[in-house]
Amino acid sequence: MTDNIKTEIRDAKEIDERAEMNAEAQAAADKASAYEHGWSSDIEQEFAEKGLNEDTVRFISAKKEEPEWMLEWRLKAFRIWQEMESPDWAKLDIPMIDYQDAYYYAEPKKKPELDSLDDVDPEILRVYEKLGIPIAEQEVLAGVKGARKVAVDAVFDSVSVATTFREELEAAGVIFRSISEAIREYPDLVRKYLGKVVPVKDNYFAALNCAVFSDGTFVYVPEGVRCPMELSTYFRINAENTGQFERTLIVADKGAYVSYLEGCTAPQRDENQLHAAVVELVALDDAEIKYSTVQNWYPGDENGKGGIYNFVTKRGLCQGKNSKISWTQVETGSAITWKYPSCVLNGENSVGEFYSVALTNNYQQADTGTKMIHNGKGSRSTIISKGISAGKSDNTYRGLVRVGPAAENVRNFTQCDSLLLGDTCGAHTVPYIEVKNPTAQIEHEATTSKISDDQMFYAQQRGLDEEEAVSLIVNGFAKEVLKELPMEFAVEAQKLLAISLEGSVG
Amino acid sequence: MLKIENLHATVGDTEILKGLSLEINVGEVHAIMGPNGAGKSTLAYVLGGRDGYEVTSGSATFNGQDILDMDPHERAALGLFLGFQYPVEIPGVSNLQFLRESLNSQRKSRDEEPLSGGEFIKLAKEKAALLKMDMEMLKRAVNVGFSGGEKKRNEMVQMGILNPELAILDETDSGLDIDALRTVGSGINAIMRDEKKAVLLITHYQRLLDEVQPDYVHVLAKGRIVKTGGPELALQLEEQGYEAVAA
C-alpha cells in the first residue's frame, strides 16, 4: 500500500448494538399497527398445481406461450437450482421453506384486456384503490386531465394486467411491456440481456426465479431517448401460498434516461409467502437509470406470525462509459428481507448510487445493503443507508465495496446510519471493503443513535402528539434518502414510515 | 390564568419541588430567580408535562383546567409555551416544517382550520423579521448548526408563530450578547405584552428584566417560593445575592 491510499474506515468491523432507550418505548413495541393493506380480494385464480418440478416449469412456460429457447433456459435454471443450497450467511433467522408446499403460478381467471384500463376487472381496480396507489397514479388511473404522466404496469399475482400510456411511449421508441409479452414480441432483445447481469447460477433465489418467474417488466429505451414519463410497476401477492417471482429487465441504450418506480404490497395472510424477484439493469454509454422501490409487503403480525419472505436479487450493470445507475429503496415491509441492489461499474467514469431506508418493527428481519463493484477507471459510487429498528426487530446493513486491480482513481463514499426505537431491537452494520488498486479513495462513516427524550419532549411541547413526533424525527433521519425519490412517491414514503411505526412508542 | 398550589414533584427518587405555590394572572409578567438547583427548570418541565417529572401532590390549573393529567401536546394546544434553556436539534427537519406541523396540530386540537402553506410562510416571515432572523435560517434543520444565541432567538420566533397565552421562558437570556438580548427582549414584549397573555421568566440576571419589566419577582429556593416582591427585588438580589435576600 502506498501513501496515495486514503482509506478512512472509521468503522470497518461489525457494530452490534442493542438499543438502550427507555422502558416505555420498549413496552410499546408489542402494540403493532394493523396492516393497512391486509385484505384479500375475491378474484378467481387459476393455479399451477402445488409443488415444484420440471412439469411446473413446463406449465408456466406453456401458459406464457414462450418460445423453446426460453423453456430450455428455465429448465436449465431449475436443474442448477436443485443442486444449490439456500444461503445462510446473512444475519437472518430463516425458517425452513418447503418449496413443494407452494403454488408457483396463479393468474386471475377473468383475464382482462391488456390494452385498456376500462376493461380491467373493477375488483382489481378496487384493489389498487385500497392499496393507496400514489396520487399521481390514481389520477392516471382515473384519467384526470393534466395529471403528471406515470406509466403503470400492474402485476397482479403473476400476470401483468395493464400497461398504460403504451402508445405515447411507443411514439418515443420506448418499449414498456410485461416480460412475457416482450419474450414473444422482442425475443432477440430480451435474449441478448436476460441473465447477463444476474447469471442463472448467481445465487439460490435467483436460480429459482429463472426457473419459475411468472411475469414482470421489460423496458428498453433506445439510443438518445429520454423516457417521457416515470415508469411504474405494482406488484401484489394475492393468493394464499403463492410465491411471486417477477423478473424485471431494463436496458438504457446509449445516452438514454429512464426513471422507474416499483411499489409492492401483499394482503395479510397467516401463512408466509415467498417472493423471489430478479431485477437486471443495463446502462450503455452515457445512459442513466434511476430505479426506485417502495416496498411494503405484509410484514407479519405483532407476534411475528405470517409475512412475506422477500429474497430479491437486484443488480445493475454500468456497461458503458459515463453511465449511471441509481438505486433508491424504502423498505418497510416483509417478515424477512434479503436484498442487495448492486452496481457493477465496468464503464469508465461510470457512477453507482445506493440510497436506502430500511425500517423494521415487531419481529421483522432485514439484511439489506449493496455491492459496488468497481472495474472501470474513474468509476465512483455513493452509498447512503438509513436503518430504523423498532420492536423486537433486527436490521442489518451489509455492503461490499470492491475495487478491481485495473480500476484507477476509484472513489467511494459510504454512510450508514442506524436509528433505534426501544431497547429490544438490533442494528448491525457489516461493511466489506476490498481494494486491489492503490489509487482508490474509500470513505466509510457509520453512526448509531436513538430518538432522545429531549427531542420527543421538545416536539411534543410544540404541539405534536407522540406518534407525530416520532414520525417527524424518523422522517428527518431518512431525509437524505427520501429526497432522492420522485416527489409524489416521497410523500407516500413519508406516510408509509409513519404507518409502519404506529404503536412503536407509547 | 395559571394557578399552582402546594406542588410537590420528584425526579427519580429526589423531591425537587416541595410545596410550590404561584398564581399568574393575565396581563402579568412574572420572574423567577433563584440559585442553581433550586428547581427552576424542574418547574418548567413539570408544567410542560415532561416524562420523568412526577407530581406527587398539589395542583396546577391553566384557565381553570387541571393540566397535570394532560399530555404535553394537549397543554401546548391550550396555549402553554416553553422556551427551552437548551433548545434541541432535530436533524433533517426544517424549522418551517417543524413549526407548520406543530401549529397545525395545535389548531386541529382546537378545532381550527389548518393554515395553508402560503398563510404559514407569511406568518413565519413576519415573526422572523420581528426577531431579526434570516428566513434562510428557518429553512435549515431545527437548531442544527445554530450558535447558542441563534437557538435562543429561534425559540422566540417559534413563540411568535405559535402565539401562546402563557410563555414560560427558561433562561432565554443565557448565551445572548448585548444586542441579541435587546432583540429578544423587545421580541418578548411585542409577542407577549398583551392583556390576554402572561409570561413567566426564569432567569439568573437582572439584564433581561431591564428589557422585559416584570410585575412580580419571586425567589425560588429549595423547591419553594421563599420571597415575592416587585421589580426592586431583582435589583436587591443582584446586589446582595440569594443567600442574604432569601434567608
Amino acid at A385: S
The minimal CB distance from A465 to the residues B52, B71, B90 is found for B71
The minimal CB distance from B51 to the residues A457, A464, A472 is found for A457
Q: Which stretches of A376-415 are DSSP H helices? A: none
A contacts of B71 (beta carbons < 8 Å): 460, 465-466
Q: Is the CB of B72 less than 8 angstroms away from the CB of A461?
A: yes
B contacts of A455 (beta carbons < 8 Å): 88-90
The per-residue pLDDT for range B219-242, each reduced to its tens digit, is: 999 999 999 999 999 999 988 988
* Assigned C-alpha cell, B142: 431545527
pLDDT at A246 over 50: yes
Q: Where do we find the cell 445462510?
A: A88
In this prediction, residue A29 has a pLDDT band, given cuts at 50, 70 and 90, of very low
Q: Is the CB of B141 less than 8 angstroms away from the CB of A455?
A: no
Reported ipTM: the value is 0.97
A contacts of B46 (beta carbons < 8 Å): none
**How far apart, in whole angstroms, are the C-alpha atoms of residue A263 and residue A295?**
6
Chain A nearest-CA residue for B104: A463
Q: Is the CB of B72 less than 8 angstroms away from the CB of A455?
A: no
Of B67, B8, B31, the closest CA to residue B213 belongs to B31
DSSP H or E segment with residue A353: strand A351-360
pLDDT at A112 over 70: no
pLDDT at B33 over 60: yes
Chain B nearest-CA residue for A24: B51
pLDDT at A6 over 70: no
Question: Quick one: residue A468, left, alpha or beta (phi over 0 = left, psi -120 to 50 = alpha)?
Answer: alpha
B contacts of A464 (beta carbons < 8 Å): 73, 101-102, 105
Predicted pLDDT of residue A275: 85
Q: Is the CB of B88 less than 8 angstroms away from the CB of A454?
A: yes
DSSP H or E segment with residue A127: helix A122-131
Predicted pLDDT of residue A423: 87
- A429 in Cβ contact with A446 (< 8 Å): yes
Greatest CA separation found in chain A? Answer: 67
CA distances from A113 to A110, A116, A128, A163, B69 (A): 9, 6, 17, 10, 60
**Rounded (5°) CA angle A262-A264-A265:** 165
Q: Is the CB of A463 less than 8 angstroms away from the CB of B106?
A: yes
Gyration radius from chain A CA atoms: 22
Q: Provide the percentage of residues in chain A whose pLDDT is more than 90.
A: 52
In this prediction, residue A45 has a pLDDT band, given cuts at 50, 70 and 90, of low
Chain A nearest-CA residue for B103: A463
Question: What three-state secondary structure class fits A189?
Answer: helix
B contacts of A478 (beta carbons < 8 Å): 92
CA distance A284 to chain B (A): 35
DSSP H or E segment with residue A442: strand A441-450
Residue B91's contacts (CB-CB under 8 Å, 6 or more residues apart) are A476, A477, B141, B144
The minimal CB distance from B102 to the residues A457, A462, A478 is found for A462
DSSP H or E segment with residue A454: helix A453-461
User: In chain A, which residues touch B (CB < 8 A)?
Assistant: 22, 24, 452-466, 468, 472-473, 475-480
Q: Is the CB of A480 less than 8 angstroms away from the CB of B103?
A: no
Greatest CA separation found in chain B? Answer: 55
**How far apart, in whole angstroms, are the C-alpha atoms of residue B191 and residue A50?**
72
**Mean predicted confidence (pLDDT) in A321-342:** 95
The per-residue pLDDT for range A299-315, each reduced to its tens digit, is: 888 888 888 889 999 99
Pairing of β B198-202 and β B166-170: parallel
Q: Is the CB of B99 less than 8 angstroms away from the CB of A462?
A: yes
The minimal CB distance from B101 to the residues A454, A461, A464 is found for A464
CA distances from A81 to A52, A78, A87, A234, B245 (A): 11, 5, 12, 27, 86
- A275 in Cβ contact with A311 (< 8 Å): yes
**How far apart, in whole angstroms, are the C-alpha atoms of residue B152 and residue A103?**
62
**How far apart, in whole angstroms, are the C-alpha atoms of residue A215 and residue A221?**
20
Q: Is the dihedral of CA B219, B220, B221, B224 positive or negative?
A: positive
In this prediction, residue A500 has a pLDDT band, given cuts at 50, 70 and 90, of confident
SS3 letters across chain B: CEEEEEEEEEECCEEEEEEEEEEECCCCEEEEECCCCCCHHHHHHHHHCCCCEEEEEEEEEECCEECCCCCHHHHHHHCEEEECCCCCCEEEEEHHHHHHHHHHHHHHHCCCCCCCHHHHHHHHHHHHHHCCCCHHHHHCEECCCCCHHHHHHHHHHHHHHHCCCEEEEECCCCCCCHHHHHHHHHHHHHHHCCCCCEEEEECCCHHHHHHCCCCEEEEEECCEEEEEECHHHHHHHHHHHHHHHHC
Rounded to the nearest 5 percent, the helix, strand and coil shares of chain A are 25, 35, 40
β-sheet bridge partners, residue A449 = A419
DSSP H or E segment with residue A387: strand A380-389
CA distance B84 to chain A (A): 8
The per-residue pLDDT for range B71-129, each reduced to its tens digit, is: 999 999 999 999 999 999 999 999 999 999 999 999 999 999 999 999 999 999 999 99
Predicted pLDDT of residue A294: 86
Chain A nearest-CA residue for B86: A454
Predicted pLDDT of residue B241: 87
Q: Is the CB of A462 less than 8 angstroms away from the CB of B109?
A: no
Which of B81, B102, B166 has the most A C-beta neighbours within 10 Å, making it the best mutation to test the interface with A? B102
DSSP H or E segment with residue A480: helix A479-482
Q: Is the CB of A476 less than 8 angstroms away from the CB of B90?
A: yes
pLDDT at A238 over 80: no
**Mean predicted confidence (pLDDT) in A380-384:** 98
User: In chain B, which residues touch A (CB < 8 A)?
Assistant: 45, 48-52, 71-73, 75-77, 81-82, 84, 86-93, 97-99, 101-103, 105-106, 109, 141, 158, 162
* Assigned C-alpha cell, A409: 482513481
Q: Is the dihedral of CA B172, B173, B174, B179 positive or negative?
A: positive
The per-residue pLDDT for range A389-398, each reduced to its tens digit, is: 999 999 999 9
CA distances from B95 to A91, A447, B137 (A): 38, 24, 8
**How far apart, in whole angstroms, are the C-alpha atoms of residue A428 and residue A423?**
14
B contacts of A459 (beta carbons < 8 Å): 90, 98, 102
CA distances from A204 to A278, A398, B195 (A): 11, 18, 74
**Mean predicted confidence (pLDDT) in B176-184:** 92
CA distance A466 to chain B (A): 8
The per-residue pLDDT for range A115-152, each reduced to its tens digit, is: 445 555 555 555 555 445 543 444 444 333 343 455 55
Predicted pLDDT of residue A98: 86
